[in-house]
Structures are given as C-alpha cells and as structure tokens.
Amino acid sequence: MWDFEQGEVLAFDKPLHWTSFDLVAKVRYNLCRKLGTKKLKVGHTGTLDPLATGVVIICTGRKTKLIDKLQYDVKEYVATLQLGATTPSYDMEKGVDATYPTEHITRELIDSTIPQFLGEQWQVPPVFSAVQINGKRAYEYARKGEEVELKPKLLVIDEIEVLEFDPTQMLLTIRVVCSKGTYIRALARDIGERLNSGAYLKALRRTRVGDTRVEDCWTIDRFLEKLKD
C-alpha cells in the first residue's frame, strides 16, 4: 500500500481547465485528510497549461526530492493547431488578433515544413508564460499590457510528425517528443510563421512523461475513490 509520507510518485491525467497547482492542491488536501495531518510535502514535476490535459507527475513526502531530476524527463504531446490565425497567448486563452491567407497551404507544404523543427531549436517563450523576468512572471507583464523582451532558449525536439491535416478547417494535428522547457504554444506560432501564415494551439494533450503514458495515469476521481479503501 502507499506510504505518502515516506514518499510516492503518482501519475495523473490532468483535467481540462485545471492548473497543475489545482491538481497538487486537491491531492494534498485529500492526502492530509486521509493521514490526519495538516502538513505534507506534495509537488509536481512540470507545469501543464490549464487548457491542456494529460500526464502530470506528482511526488509526495521524501520523494519530492526527485522533482528536480524528474523535470528533465522527455515529454510527448499531441497538439491540434488552427492554421491561418493567431492569438496573443498562442492558444485559446485569448481571442484571435489576426488572420492570414491559407490558400497556399497544402499537405505537401506541411510535410516538407514539419521536419525542419527536428533537433536543436532556439525558441522564444510565449509572453503569456511563467518565465521569470526581473523577479516577476512574464504573464504578469503581459496581462497589464506591458511589453517585455523574452530571450530565446535552446531546446531539443526528438520527434515530430503529422497525424492529421484537415484542409477544409485548416486544422493540423501533430505528435511531438521534446525536452524540458519546450512550449508547444510557441511551436504552434513558429510553425504558422514557417508556413507563411499564422497558427495557434487549439488543443493539447501530454501523452507521455519519461516512461509514464497517459493511459496508465490516475484520473483525480479514481484516485480519490481509491483513497477511501
């Protein structure tokens, strides 16, 4: 049986609209009730945006010491991009701010463009992100309408492939295996620019972290039921 104070590493399928912190808080609250304690170390190994679903690894007790190490595990995503438009947040958190021609976008163009993102890439993080600038998060500046300059970061994309392209709706679905620090929202932006158009993230699911796959994860409801045993 679990020993949450000595430490456990748990994998969850984060629900849509929850922050990673929401998930940690829910797990911590229920574990503290179960154990009859007011304090328990609980943390996650990598933030997932509220509009994304999928694998979030949570560590408890002494296993929280593993968080720094586990953050470097390779991650896999399935992302759906809306081509021909952009938003300030690069996803659906903000409304469309510009539209672009898409008549020139074909499956052949996509198939020749996507492989260009393999390997080491310099990526500028989204302004609506948790990147630290002068002690504040980038999104704090962005939400006040203040402009900030974000420096590009070096990352690695190990695998990227087209899963589906719907030319009638200009929806592109891709699978990406990448390193820590990769923003799939920013990748959507860059793909749109490389296609001489625009793009933003319409849906995102983290399907794997390290060797942990989403089909092996707990839903929060199943986990809370199991705690009652």
Just list the catalytic residues. Answer: 49
Quick one: tokens of 177? Answer: 């295996």
What is the CB neighbour count within 10 angstroms for residue 205? 18
Between the alpha carbon of residue 24 and those of residues 13, 31, 67, the distances in Å are 12, 10, 13
Q: How far apart are CA 89 and CA 86, in angstroms?
A: 9
Q: How far is CA 87 from the centre of its chain?
A: 17
Between the alpha carbon of residue 146 and those of residues 100, 132, 151, 191, the distances in Å are 25, 15, 16, 26
Quick one: tokens of 109? Answer: 């163009």
Say if residues 15 and 179 touch (Cβ distance below 8 Å).
no
Say if residues 192 and 83 touch (Cβ distance below 8 Å).
yes
Angle at 74 between CA 70 and CA 80, to 5 degrees: 125
Q: How far is CA 153 from the centre of its chain?
A: 16
